[in-house]
Amino acid sequence: MSGSESRLRAIAAVNESKAVAEPFNFADDPTAELFGTNVFSKTVMQERLPKAVFKSLMKTIQEGQPLDATIADVVASAMKDWAIDKGATHYAHVFYPLTGSTAEKHDSLLSFTGEGKAVAEFTGKQLIQGEPDASSFPNGGLRQTFEARGYTAWDVTSSAYILENPNGTTLCIPTAFISWTGEALDKKTPVLRSMRAVNEQAHRILALFGNDVPGFISAECGAEQEYFLIDRNFYYSRPDILTANRTLFGAKPPKGQEFDDHYFGAIPQRVLAYMLDVERELIKLGIPVQTRHNEVAPGQFEIAPLFETANIATDHQQITMTVLSSMAKKYGMKCIMHEKPFAGINGSGKHVNWSIGAPGLGSLLKPGDTPHKNVQFLVFCAAIIRGVDKFAPLLRAVVASASNDHRLGANEAPPAIISMFLGDQLTDVFKQIKAEGTASSSLEKSTLTLGVDSLPPLPKDAGDRNRTSPFAFTGNRFEFRAVGSKQSVAGPLTALNTIAADSLDYVATKLEKAVAEGTNLTDAVATVLQEILEKHGRVIFNGDGYSDEWHAEAEKRGLPNLKTTVDALPALISPEVIEAFEKFNVLSERELHSRYEVYTEQYILALRVEANLVSKLGRTMIFPAAIRYQNELATTCANLKAVGYEFDTNTLDRVTALIKDLQDALDTLEIENEKEVEGEAMDHAKHYLNVIVPLMNAVREASDALENMVADDTWPLPTYQEMLFIK
Ligand code: ADP
Ligand code: MG
């Protein structure tokens, strides 16, 4: 098979591909009626559970009261009957190990009696607790292979659901995953613990304002997911995407994204069909998907749900990624959620919209039209300012990965410097407070008139938006934009909740003390806010985060610029982080260390796989194609010379030089990749960052230059142009 055979076949397959799925009819099957049909929801529980049991369960779910284990058998039995009605044969405890993916262990809903009979059975114990082997998941030293015991524990606050498969369905139960010693081996447990901390501290602030509400004050999250779609035939012809989820080779296409003609463009038919199918599945699972659109890069798209409480949003985000991946196959495409699948083309992020909401009050981060009068809001907002500044390295660390390093700071995503955008109105209010202790005015909202009578006047927001800020205030929430597209939102949410709890605790303690000593609340607030702005106001930045001036300015302000994962991860085990996480019982020092170790190891593994791939593809695909073309050129030169022409060997010279570069870079890469590095995991990580990555880039540089010279019919890999534009 000649080099380009697989490419040609892929292109032909794309061209001939037909719709695979039966068309949906949303008129017969309205989305509103489908919503949540596969969820063991509050409504289902109310229908199927005895009143007392339902009430007790709601106390746990809505108010965070301890779970009454004696009701478990009744709940389990009702859940089983419901699941069997939905065609379930098995149940699965679903959990979220530190790999960032979803894990599930399936067990039959049948019990075999030993007398040749099988009966459907599901006990409270089976619902509450499972026991997968803990040693096979990354645990950063928390568990050795010989101490394998780990448990999954039912998370009552996240509904059980039915996952469909053409050949049957499974009852899925969201669970936390902990070791026999009680340490968290997963991503869910710290989210739940951090939500409890936010609840406690936020209540203290509300109480000070005489505004305390009964019920759970919850961190909330709406996560926007960006992803790429390419035809599956290209995917199978690109071993780099197949194994590493990104292209390790590939010259810049003649046309990239410079025309900005893809963003919000008409969604291609096949892609829209896929999106409708994905959304339908998510709707059945009770996931409130709301928006979809083309993103900036060709072949890039976005999906976003309505926000939900942090824990449920985290579970739903994980399901969304699973469905996006699995559904693509049905439409002959591959969904790529890597942060930077194509060099030179925008990467993908996951904007984590985050706020704190109180029952009946909505977001506590809502300033209203006159924020200067909304002191309670100002206290919450100032607490976040303090938290983001004090824990900036932590926020950088929780978005650190080998793949997200390609994005951060690359002038398409927020820089690695953590700063905060507040907009003109709030910045002005806080400026007044810093100077006077209080603020007496807020910049007003105005109206935009469009100069065309038939168009309505539009209310204009008090401040513009800023796309370059890693942490932007967007009206009633903050948007953490540095999160990577394939990351779980659990880590970022845990960090945000914990730093919020830390700051709310700090402010509440000061205010409570001042009030107890007889200071009036207004004066006490003025003092605390002034002090916070004095110390932490440096983190506020409304300008262009991509500019060089900002990098210089940030350095002057003393803001950390942790450029890579290697620079960022140590923040996870810094004294301030350990202190705060232990104080609010989110993660112990040991648990933080385990995460530091696991994420360092994942960084090394990701880069090792990439280095192996670069070497393999470089040797077995790129090099052979290059020498074939070189041979062709050399033969032509020799032949022409033989018949008396003076042939210019420029092209042959350049190709030969590039082949030499390719070979040399591959040789060095292989030597360095084999090298035993002394020291700890972090030393290995540094070796990968400082030595291996530049060598991989050198191989790529030679290869990409060759791609632009070698005869197209010998080039073995689908090109950027093909993958991004043939749909
Ligand atoms: P944009 O493109 O303006 O960022 P999107 O509609 O794509 O807007 O996404 C905004 C996300 O923010 C949605 O998931 C939305 O539900 C979420 N959101 C809105 N209000 C809040 C809030 N108070 N707390 C958390 N998330 C919120
Ligand atoms: Mg957004």
Tens digits of residue pLDDT in 378-412: 999 999 999 999 999 999 999 999 999 999 877 67
pLDDT of residue 1: 43
Q: How far is the CA of 355 from the centre of ligand 1 (A)?
A: 10
> b/e per residue, 677-697, with b = 16+ CB within 10 A?
eeeebbebbbbbbebbbebbe
Written as one letter, the residue type at 2 is: S
Q: How far apart are CA 231 and CA 549, in angstroms?
A: 41
Q: Is 353 in the pocket of ligand 1 (CB under 6 A)?
A: yes
At 442-470, the pLDDT tens digits run 887 766 566 666 666 666 666 666 778 99
Cβ pair 206, 358 in contact under 8 A: yes
Cβ pair 626, 717 in contact under 8 A: no
Q: How far is the CA of 39 from the centre of ligand 2 (A)?
A: 28
Q: Is 264 in the pocket of ligand 1 (CB under 6 A)?
A: no
- Residue 483, Cβ neighbours under 10 Å: how many? 27
Residue 260's pLDDT band, with cuts at 50, 70 and 90, is low
Q: State the average pLDDT over residues 431-440.
A: 90
Q: State the average pLDDT over residues 664-685.
A: 94
Q: How far is the CA of 106 from the centre of ligand 1 (A)?
A: 34
Lowest pLDDT segment from 257-266, 307-316, 443-452, 518-527 = 257-266
Q: How far is the CA of 284 from the centre of ligand 1 (A)?
A: 21
User: Which residue's entry shows tokens 């400082």?
Assistant: 690
pLDDT of residue 144: 60
Closest CA to 163 of 220, 102, 254: 102
pLDDT at 415 over 70: yes
Cβ pair 647, 640 in contact under 8 A: yes
Q: State the average pLDDT over residues 610-616.
A: 98
Cβ pair 349, 485 in contact under 8 A: yes
Cβ pair 320, 225 in contact under 8 A: yes
pLDDT of residue 28: 82
User: Which residue's entry shows tokens 């007496």?
Assistant: 440
Q: How far is the CA of 189 from the centre of ligand 2 (A)?
A: 27
User: Which residue's entry shows tokens 């098979």?
Assistant: 1
pLDDT at 628 over 90: yes
Q: Which of 307, 351, 478, 497 has the most ligand 1 atoms within 8 A of CB, as the residue to mutate?
A: 307
Q: How far is the CA of 475 from the centre of ligand 1 (A)?
A: 10
Q: How far apart are CA 360 and CA 10, in angstroms?
A: 55
pLDDT of residue 189: 96
Q: Is 476 in the pocket of ligand 1 (CB under 6 A)?
A: yes
pLDDT of residue 717: 95
For the chain, domains (ranges, CATH) are 34-95+100-136+143-182 (3.10.20.70), 603-725 (1.20.120.1560)
Q: State the average pLDDT over residues 420-432.
A: 93
Q: How far apart are CA 314 and CA 307, in angstroms?
A: 10
What six digits make up the tokens of 708?
A: 């632009």
**pTM assigned to the model:** 0.94
Q: How far is the CA of 471 from the centre of ligand 1 (A)?
A: 14
Which class for 439: exposed (0-12), middle (13-18), buried (19 or more C-beta within 10 A)?
buried
Q: Is 481 in the pocket of ligand 1 (CB under 6 A)?
A: no
Q: How far is the CA of 623 from the centre of ligand 2 (A)?
A: 43
Ligand nearest to the CA of 350: 2
pLDDT of residue 574: 98
- Report the nearest-CA residue for atom 17 of ligand 1: 222
pLDDT of residue 2: 52
pLDDT at 414 over 90: no
Q: How far apart are CA 304 and CA 290, in angstroms?
A: 6
Closest CA to 128 of 171, 52, 61, 71: 71
Q: How far apart are CA 482 and CA 352, in angstroms?
A: 8
- Residue 165, Cβ neighbours under 10 Å: how many? 10
Alpha carbon of 374 to those of 95, 272, 370, 406: distances in Å? 41, 43, 7, 40
Ligand nearest to the CA of 461: 1
Q: Which helix (H) or strand (E) holds 622?
A: none
Residues in the chain, total: 727
- Residue 295, Cβ neighbours under 10 Å: how many? 21
Closest CA to 163 of 76, 111, 90, 225: 90
Cβ pair 244, 609 in contact under 8 A: yes
Q: Is 307 in the pocket of ligand 1 (CB under 6 A)?
A: yes
Q: Is 222 in the pocket of ligand 1 (CB under 6 A)?
A: yes
Q: Is 308 in the pocket of ligand 1 (CB under 6 A)?
A: no
Q: Which of 227, 317, 353 has the most ligand 1 atoms within 8 A of CB, as the residue to mutate?
A: 353
Cβ pair 723, 10 in contact under 8 A: no
Specify which of 220-224, 270-274, 643-647 reaches the highest per-range mean pLDDT. Answer: 220-224
Q: Which atom of ligand 1 is nearest to the CA of 354?
A: 25
Cβ pair 682, 566 in contact under 8 A: yes
DSSP state of 97: B
Q: State the average pLDDT over residues 652-676.
A: 96
Q: How far is the CA of 222 from the centre of ligand 1 (A)?
A: 5
Q: State the average pLDDT over residues 194-205.
A: 97
What six digits make up the tokens of 539?
A: 């983190």
pLDDT of residue 264: 59
pLDDT of residue 114: 81
Q: Is 224 in the pocket of ligand 1 (CB under 6 A)?
A: yes
Q: Is 478 in the pocket of ligand 1 (CB under 6 A)?
A: no
Q: How far is the CA of 635 from the centre of ligand 2 (A)?
A: 57
Lowest pLDDT segment from 136-140, 283-287, 489-493 = 136-140
Max CA distance (Å), the chain = 105
Q: Is 306 in the pocket of ligand 1 (CB under 6 A)?
A: yes
Q: Is 309 in the pocket of ligand 1 (CB under 6 A)?
A: no
Secondary structure class of 638 (helix, strand, coil)? helix
Q: Is 574 in the pocket of ligand 1 (CB under 6 A)?
A: no
Is the dihedral angle over the CA atoms 505, 511, 513, 515 positive or is it negative? negative
Q: Is 537 in the pocket of ligand 1 (CB under 6 A)?
A: no
pLDDT of residue 31: 84
Q: How far is the CA of 313 from the centre of ligand 1 (A)?
A: 12
- Report the nearest-CA residue for atom 24 of ligand 1: 355
Q: Is 466 in the pocket of ligand 1 (CB under 6 A)?
A: no
What six digits make up the tokens of 37?
A: 């049909």
Q: How far apart are CA 345 and CA 181, in angstroms?
A: 46
Q: Is 305 in the pocket of ligand 1 (CB under 6 A)?
A: yes
Packing angle of the helix pair 310-330, 188-208 (nearest 10 deg): 140
Q: Which atom of ligand 1 is nearest to the CA of 221?
A: 25
Half-sphere exposure of 22 (CA within 13 A, CB side): 3
Label the pairing between strands 168-179 and 88-95: parallel
Q: Is 477 in the pocket of ligand 1 (CB under 6 A)?
A: yes
Share of the chain above pLDDT 90, in %: 72
Q: State the average pLDDT over residues 609-634.
A: 97
Comparing 251 with 111, which gets the higher pLDDT? 251
Label the pairing between strands 168-179 and 150-154: antiparallel
Cβ pair 385, 461 in contact under 8 A: no
Q: How far is the CA of 308 from the centre of ligand 1 (A)?
A: 10
Contact partners, residue 695, CB within 8 Å, separation at least 6 = 611, 665, 668, 669, 672
Q: How far is the CA of 219 from the centre of ligand 1 (A)?
A: 14
Q: How far is the CA of 509 from the centre of ligand 2 (A)?
A: 34
Q: Is 291 in the pocket of ligand 1 (CB under 6 A)?
A: yes
Residue 726's pLDDT band, with cuts at 50, 70 and 90, is confident
DSSP state of 692: I
Ligand nearest to the CA of 306: 1
Q: How far is the CA of 224 from the centre of ligand 2 (A)?
A: 6
Q: How far is the CA of 515 from the centre of ligand 1 (A)?
A: 36
Q: How far is the CA of 320 from the centre of ligand 2 (A)?
A: 17
Ligand nearest to the CA of 358: 1
Half-sphere exposure of 127 (CA within 13 A, CB side): 23
Share of the chain above pLDDT 70, in %: 94
Lowest pLDDT segment from 1-5, 105-109, 208-212, 686-690 = 1-5
pLDDT of residue 258: 66
Q: What is the 3-state secondary structure (H, E, C) of 64-82?
A: CCCCCHHHHHHHHHHHHHH
Contact partners, residue 239, CB within 8 Å, separation at least 6 = 613, 616, 617, 621
Secondary structure class of 177 (helix, strand, coil)? strand
Q: Which of 195, 226, 350, 477 has the most ligand 1 atoms within 8 A of CB, as the residue to mutate?
A: 477
Q: Which atom of ligand 1 is nearest to the CA of 302?
A: 7
Q: Is 492 in the pocket of ligand 1 (CB under 6 A)?
A: no
Ligand nearest to the CA of 295: 1
Question: Across the chain, what does the average pLDDT equal?
Answer: 91
- Residue 275, Cβ neighbours under 10 Å: how many? 20
Q: Is 455 in the pocket of ligand 1 (CB under 6 A)?
A: no
pLDDT of residue 127: 92
Cβ pair 661, 655 in contact under 8 A: no
Q: Which of 224, 295, 483, 489 has the most ligand 1 atoms within 8 A of CB, as the residue to mutate?
A: 224
